[in-house]
Structure formats: structure tokens, C-alpha cells
Amino acid sequence: MNYWVAIRPDDLSAVFVGEELTALTRPEASAAVQDAIDDVTAIVRDAVAQNLANILPDGALIPRSLRPAALDMIAWRLLKRYALAITDERKQAAAEAAARIAEVRTQKQLVLDATGKLPIQPASTPAIIAPDPAYGNDGPGLYPIP
């Protein structure tokens, strides 16, 4: 299974049906649809990149677990752009999608890497601060006398 996937215009059938899907798959709408896909892909990748443990694969790939949220965000943008019917369910889906992406951004929700494993969070190592004789703060007894 691919844990990171690309969103294509064909994927819009998961959030649109009937006349809406027909309107958005017309050739003259392809540039706007691709712009919305690219924008949301960048937003999702940016949110994932906020966790330093995540390694983003090359290309316009997003985690499969965030694909439904990304599609809801794309649907919201396209509905507003083309002044299509915006229902309360779609508003709620877009709000939930934005909240899910915000959780990923703040590292409250982790995503699988390209191999299907959770990334190992970077640990902080304490810094050892010792007196430096070059600056005259070498107290007596800190360094052995040869």
C-alpha cells in the first residue's frame, strides 16, 4: 500500500457527484481545479513538515490518512470559486478538515511516513557547559595539573 499519494482531478468524484462533477471536469475548469489541488497539497505538506521528525517524499504527495481532509478542502475552494451550492454539511466538512490539518501542524496528530511507520520524534540532548580556560574562567580544581 502507498502511504503517501498524489491528488489528481479524477479524485474529485469522492466529494462531487452529478452536475457539480460535470461542471468541474470541463476542460475550461481544469486550470482552476489543478490550482486548488496544488494549493491544498502545499498546505497539507507544509503542515506535515512542521514536525521535524517527518520526512517528506519528493513530488506532490500527501499522507493517505489526510487525503479525505484535503479533498474536503479542495471541494470547499472549488464550491466558492464557481458559486456552487454550499450546504451546511460541506461547511462542517471543510471546518473539520481545516481542524485536522491544524492538529497535524501542531503535532497533536502524527502521520505515517512513506514506509508506513510513525516517525521517531527528535530527542533533545542536554548541552554540557564547562568553564573555558581560554576566557579566564577556569576555577581552581576544575582541570588537573600536569
Position 53 scores a pLDDT of 79
- Residue 133 CA to residue 17 CA, distance in Å, equals 74
> Per residue in 12-32, pLDDT tens?
999 998 888 888 888 998 999
What letter represents residue 121's amino acid? Answer: Q
DSSP secondary structure string for all residues of 16-43:
--HHHHHHHTSGGGHHHHHHHHHHHHHH
**Section 40-46 average pLDDT:** 95
Position 136 scores a pLDDT of 57
* CA 145 vs CA 113, 136, 140: distances in Å: 53, 16, 10
Position 83 scores a pLDDT of 83
Position 108 scores a pLDDT of 87
What residues contact residue 82 under an 8 Å CB cut-off, 6+ apart?
Answer: 23, 24, 29, 32
Share of the chain above pLDDT 70, in %: 82
CB 24 within 8 A of CB 82: yes
Q: Look at residues 50, 38, 68, 59 and name the one whose alpha carbon lies nearest to residue 119.
A: 50
- Residue 135 CA to residue 6 CA, distance in Å, equals 56
Residue 111 has pLDDT above 60, yes or no: yes
Position 112 scores a pLDDT of 87
> Per residue in 49-79, pLDDT tens?
998 878 888 889 999 999 999 999 999 999 9
Lowest mean pLDDT among 29-33, 45-49, 136-140: 136-140
How far apart are the two ends of the chain, measured CA to CA in Å? 64
